[in-house]
Amino acid sequence: MKISSIPQLYRNLNRWREILSVLSKYGLANWIGRLGPDFAKDLLKASDGQAIARHSWEMRVRLALLELGPTFIKLGQILSTRPDLVGVELATELEHLQSDVPADPPEAAKKLIEQELGRPVDELFSHFEDEAMASASIGQVHRARLTSGEAVVVKVQRAGIERKVAVDLEILAGLALLAERLPEFRHYRPRAIVNEFQRTMRGELDFRREMRNMEQFAYDFRGNTTIRIPRAYPELSTGRVLTMERLEGVALADGDRIRAEGFDTYELARRGVNIYLEMIFCNGLYHADPHPGNVVLLSNNVFGLLDYGMVGRMTERMQEDFVEMLLAITSRDAEHLTSIITRIGSTPPTLDRTSFGLDVADFVSHYGSQDLSQFDLGGALVEMTEIIRRHEVTLPARVAMLIKVLITLEGTARLLSPSFNLLDVMKPYHKKLLRRQLSPSRQLRKFRRFYAELEHLAEVLPRGIVDILQQVETGKFDVHLDHRGLEPSVNRLVLGMLASALFVGSTLILAHQILPITLPFIGRLSGLGAVGCVVSIALGFRLWLAINKSGHLDRRE
């Protein structure tokens, strides 16, 4: 850790101690579970009173994040969308990570609203419910009614949450720096994950971002009568307060009530999936959390979407690549699927492409032989993600999120209609993408971009060639080589030579008894030579430890 981080460590010492204590508690339970007798397994308890050692490792991770508070809960929810990094089992477990935080007192919520909007709550709303209808780690939601009569909900940020999140993000950056030094965590790219999470978390704390998302969705679906986007009220919203239209309907999670009221569940599933596929493959902006709790059914089979804090964006190229991946699976084209994955993903230098290709071929052979009417898209995406993770290929965050959204979408649709097949509904969108890809307007845009880049190259290339020729003529042309990993080896070599020279010199001084001193039980010997020998032996031992720790002492490439 850098010296510059010491003041930060001291400033957040109590939080550091709390975090490390929780992580240690849930980690040590693993040792108790393996080594201790049955009575020892019940020594450490989770916050729910259950013995930690009797839980699976994935559940212990979830419980630890839950105990650490809002920032770590959000981190777990973000990681649940990255099964390519953390594995399918852990990602599935983290899907259940929901914060059960008591709401702030009504006085605190009202005080923040008045601070943000500059007017008393009684003037802003004709009615404001003191009791929060929902409470999460970052904010809580209150029912209210405007002076003009519209029913709304007011999302209010929790008191002091910005300071807590700032401290935790600082600590997470330090933990990521330490995790980079551990071989078992290095391939997870902890620093990159934390950097991505910091951007996401800062966006979550700004409610104006969620309001802009709602306005964009409302614009994209203007004229569409099958979906209802809550109206936002910008004049009653800030970065810490969000006022939006209240949608009253049947929660999609309430399956019994949906069936009791006579809804056509297959038609609902088809209509809901079409809405999401239009978001993904037509608009390029989609709601990234399609679980049943975020969807309500309004009258006339209209869908109402809630919670726009997490959204995904797709470029045209990403849309086309993803559809090509699905087609490669169903057409049993393993070579094409392997090519697409390695092109869009980040492959490690040690990737065994032959082994990776064989695993993909086995996967395609299994799922490609399934009848399309019975095709398990969610299972196929889960297994493909596990293969990608096993070979340490990292997908772009947007692609990983899209895979997770489609898995969740199929699961939600099958809650309504168990016979529903997502792939059948996706077929028309492939044709739309193909027509759009081959359309004259898109080809013209591609040509314009290519021409602009070619024109820029034509402008800078002659000047660059002239500059290089002038440097060669004047003898100023230099080639700079970056010797990655060479500096530690050179340092060790120099240290070894110094230690050897010091030892040889010191033994000569000892042999000739230069500047001798008399010691009891030893007699006359050169003190200078003795000190030199001790120092050289210490340097040699230090060098041996460094080489042995790196693991390159006797390894043959």
**Which residue numbers are catalytic?**
289
Distance CA 181, CA 197 (A): 20
Distance CA 225, CA 302 (A): 7
Annotate 188-207 with DSSP letters as a single string.
T-HHHHHHHHHHHHHHHT-H
Residue 80: is it exposed, middle or buried by C-beta count within 10 angstroms (0-12/13-18/19+)? Answer: buried
Distance CA 184, CA 182 (A): 6
Distance CA 283, CA 271 (A): 17
Query: Nearest 5°: phi and psi at 346?
Result: -100, 115
Strands 523-526 and 516-519: antiparallel
């490669």: which residue's tokens?
A: 328
Other beta carbons less than 10 A from residue 536's beta carbon: 20
Distance CA 553, CA 546 (A): 9
Distance CA 176, CA 79 (A): 14
Closest among 281, 253, 157, 164 to 208, alpha carbons compared:
157
The upper half-sphere exposure of residue 249, i.e. CA atoms within 13 Å in the direction of its Cβ, equals 27
> What tokens were used for 184?
């078992």
Q: Which 8-state DSSP code applies to residue 372?
A: G
Q: What value, to the nearest 5°, has the Cα angle with vertex 518 and ends 504 and 507?
A: 5
User: Is residue 424 within 8 Å of residue 372, measured between CB atoms?
Assistant: yes
CA distances from 89 to 197, 391, 501 (A): 21, 16, 56
Q: Please, where are the H alpha helices in 36-69?
A: 57-68
What's at 68, amino acid-wise? Answer: L
Distance CA 43, CA 54 (A): 11
Q: Please, where are the H alpha helices in 13-105?
A: 13-35, 57-68, 70-79, 83-86, 88-94
The upper half-sphere exposure of residue 516, i.e. CA atoms within 13 Å in the direction of its Cβ, equals 11
Residue 556, H or E segment: none
User: Is residue 230 within 8 Å of residue 247, measured between CB atoms?
Assistant: yes
- Please enumerate in sequence order all residues whose Cβ is within 8 A of that of 328, keeping only pairs 6 or more positions apart, or say none: 334, 336, 337, 340, 364
